[in-house]
Amino acid sequence: MSTDPAKTEDVNSAAEVFYSAALARIGKLMPALALVLCAVGWWVFGLRPAIGFAFGCAIAWVNFHWLKRVIAGFTDRATGSTDSKSGSGIVFRFLLRYVLMALGAYAILTVSPASLQGLLAGLFLPVAAILCEAVYELYAALAHGL
């Protein structure tokens, strides 16, 4: 049984293109998941936990995008890219993410303690999006041989 090198190379490049777009798909999936899960949370748990969940999702979405930028900054700095930002600025933004999450949790807690559980659940939005992406990649691998 011989394999055609050109066909193997085409499959490998298609797989590389598919898997390299995973981060973009996760970023696009997060708002859609947030809307659906907020609606379900409102229906099941009520308005206050759903509002807390929406705030948690917003914080998680912003955190996800800031983390992508921080990682890009770290890699630019590590590879010696010409347009890399200062190391202290990168570390400041990295730590600022946690301060803002703590402030959001404190604000929700002081306004409505019932919404805190929703907020904490909303912070897991990236986990749900990554899980959906993993299922999609498994499907693509099995169905299309990527």
**pTM exceeds 0.85 for this model:** no
Half-sphere CA count of 14, side-chain side, radius 13 A: 12
Q: Is residue 64 part of a domain?
A: yes
In angstroms, the CA 122 to CA 101 distance is: 12
**Count of other CB atoms within 10 angstroms of residue 142:** 9
Q: Which domain holds residue 93?
A: 7-144
Mark the ranges of the chain whose per-residue pLDDT is less than 70.
1-11, 81-87, 90, 146
Number of compact structural domains in the chain: 1
Contacts of 37 (CB under 8 A, 6+ apart): 53, 57, 125, 128
Q: What pLDDT is attached to residue 10?
A: 62
Q: What's phi and psi for 86, nearest 5 deg?
A: -70, 150
Question: Residue 2: inside a domain, yes or no?
Answer: no
